[in-house]
Amino acid sequence: MTDTPILSVRNLTIDIPVGGGTLHAVRGIDFDLNRGETLCIVGESGSGKSLTSLALMGLLGKKISRRADRMEFDGIDLMKTSQRGMRKLRGLRMSMIFQEPMTSLNPAYTIGDQLAEALLLHKKVSREQARARAVELLEKVGITAAKSRLSQYPHQLSGGLRQRVMIAMALMCEPELIIADEPTTALDVTIQAQILRLLVDLQKELGMAMILITHDLGVVARVADKVAVMYAGELVETGPAADVFGAPAHPYTRGLLRCIPVPGKTERGAELGTIPGIVPSLVGEVSGCPFRTRCDHAVDACRQPIPLREQQAGRHSFRCVHPDGRAASPQEVPA
């Protein structure tokens, strides 16, 4: 593992023009990802997780604008890369798996055609070689009778199988980075664990870096090397998974963790944790901590821009006015 990160993002900002002004969907995201590492981006719906991943792939819509001080993939400045250049990276060196396996495959073409296309677009191979590679990968993602699947159409497969096909498709060119945007959300609970295990095993086996976008903290705890917690378009806390889970510094992260029942610890019948309030509107000027309206520890200083604080130098950082989040944890606040 080299020291230079495969992906390095500084101050990524995404704006969406809407009827009444500009929606500041993502504001000043920073993160680094090393080869072979897994970064989990956590946050609720609308926090900007998916937009962040689409921005990395260069797949934002025409009207959505992105800015960044730095967005580099293996030393390539993605902000300066042309559409043509991005096309040559996508599918070859960085791949993406989407949330909706039911609608992410083209209904008009066979599985075989769509898998082979991923390879034929980037490499000079024959159709037969591409199909052989497709069979190999279908087997790798645990699909039985792989060869006969090539001539099937997406509507003939279940959701779980389709997501396996999507994974196989993303791996056709052995990318160095794979972005999985809530890959298990649309699947049955019993299938979710299988698909996730498959993804993690393949990632380890092929030595890929992975960004896993999810709102399932249980998943994060099992697979993440690094965690980035997003709230309303901002990165509120980031660091090694063990540190963020072991010593959450931001009130929002602590709130999220309280929402998960822990077998053996949470008493039967006890009320599950919730975070009261709603996410603020991001249309127009957004300043200060976006979480302050829902936070128990909000003070006047929360209205000002909050700098990123380092809990541990270069590792665990968070964006909160309280210098040590834990000092103000709910147990110690007088009732």
Give the C-alpha separation, 18 to 129, whole Å.
47
> Tokens standing for 157?
């497969």
Closer of 88 and 204 to another protein (Cβ): 88
C-beta of 132: minimal distance to another protein in Å? 18
Distance (Å, whole) CA 178 – CA 7: 11
Comparison of 122 and 222: residue with beta carbon closer to another protein: 122
Work out how close the CB of 144 gets to another protein at its nearest, in angstroms, rounded to a whole number: 22
Nearest residue (CB) to another protein, 80 versus 155: 155
Q: How many CB atoms are located within 10 Å of the residue 116 CB?
A: 25
Residue 19 C-beta: closest distance to another protein, Å: 15
Q: Which residues pair with 316 in a beta bridge?
A: 312
Report, in Å, the least distance between residue 279 CB and another protein. 25
Instruction: Evaluate whether 256 touches 244 at the Cβ level (below 8 Å).
Output: no
Q: How far apart are the first and last CA of the chain?
A: 49
We find the least distance from the C-beta atom of residue 133 to another protein, in angstroms, to be: 14
User: Which residues here bind another protein, judged by CB under 8 A?
Assistant: 57, 59, 87-92, 95-96, 98, 100, 103-108, 117-118, 121-122, 153, 155, 166, 169
Taking the least distance from each CB to another protein, the nearer of 40 and 171 is: 171
4 or 106: whose CB is closer to another protein? Answer: 106
Alpha helices, H only, 172-287: 189-206, 217-223, 241-246, 251-258
Between the alpha carbon of residue 48 and those of residues 232, 233, 235, the distances in Å are 7, 5, 9
Cβ neighbours, 10 Å, residue 93:
17
Given a contact cutoff of 8 angstroms between Cβ atoms, the answer to whether 70 and 11 are in contact is yes
Q: Which is nearer to another protein, 45 or 287 (CB)?
A: 45
C-beta of 109: minimal distance to another protein in Å?
8
